[in-house]
Amino acid sequence: MSVNVDFSKGGYQGDIIEETFKQFTVKSMPFWWHFREVLRASQLASPHWTRADGAALSDEEQKELVALSLMNYAVYTGIAESLAFLEQLQFEVFRTTCDPWRIFDARRHWKATYSSLYSSFNALCNIVCIVVGLKPPLGEKRGKVWNYSPSTAYHLVNGKGINIIAEPLKRVTERLEIRNQLDHYWLIWHGIEQGKFFIDSKFTKGYVPLDIRADVSLDVDAIELAREHLIKSAEDFNVIYRELSVAGGFLDQYVSARGWMVDYSDYGEPHNAQRPKP
């Protein structure tokens, strides 16, 4: 059954960055917006978050929901950065002159496109661990702040048999092999000239050619591949966010398990003092 988020009746409004990239995110990851709306995300303590009996949350409880809100914002800003770097990459490659410094800039924007996409993905993986796994947002060891990695999120949901989340996590991880190579391993062979940026189609993580002429084929358009990876990853993010934020989904279960509630009594259209629904 298809479920769509209705943006036509108000609500679902963000800050200048969120609104700037909204044309992309409304199309590719509308359930990011829905998660934000259901949580009533806030960067500060909020009176809309209370205990189930209506009593105020403690400072520590407020911090947990603020942290969740900030992670959700980091998912968005990572996507926005990746889109911006991809635009800059295309600009650099298609400039009329392509001297060595501009080639360096093209490589830099290419790497940044994938690094920002990874930052976004990592924030989403932390959200999955917190909301689905009921893990504390700053780590499970007192006094030691800890980041939940993509592999932690994957093993968590895969172990629980939640394939509808595990499968998109795996797909995004596979796309980010390029980022792993650029950030942690070594070179991906490529060729850049004015209007053209191709990478090795034989590339896999850890690939080390011994004979460039025999072992490297520069025939994959790096810009089109990065664009495809970005769009498909955003769509996979949306699959995950749908499972988190639909009525009765993991966000509702998380709030209930903590003995909390979110107050929607002052929500206007399209929610009309009720829990937001797609």
For 188-213, how does the pLDDT look when each residue is reduced to its tens digit (9 = 90+)?
A: 999 998 889 999 999 988 888 889 88
Q: How far apart are CA 234 and CA 231, in angstroms?
A: 5
Entry pTM: 0.94
> 64-114: per-residue pLDDT in tens?
999 999 999 999 999 999 999 999 999 999 887 767 788 899 999 999 999
> 113-126: per-residue pLDDT in tens?
999 999 999 999 99
Which of 173-187, 229-243, 257-271 has the highest average model confidence (pLDDT)? 229-243
| Coil vs helix vs strand at 179 | helix
Strands (E), 110-235: 190-193, 196-200, 218-221
At residue 157, what are phi and psi to the nearest 5 degrees? -75, -35
Query: Residue written as tokens 């105020």?
Result: 56
Q: How far apart are CA 208 and CA 181, in angstroms?
A: 11
Q: How far apart are CA 39 and CA 135, in angstroms?
A: 17
Using a pLDDT cut of 70, give the percent of the chain over it.
Answer: 99
Cis check for the bond before 270: say yes or no (omega within 30 of 0): yes
The rounded Cα 90 to chain-centroid distance in angstroms is 22
At residue 102, what are phi and psi to the nearest 5 degrees? -70, -30
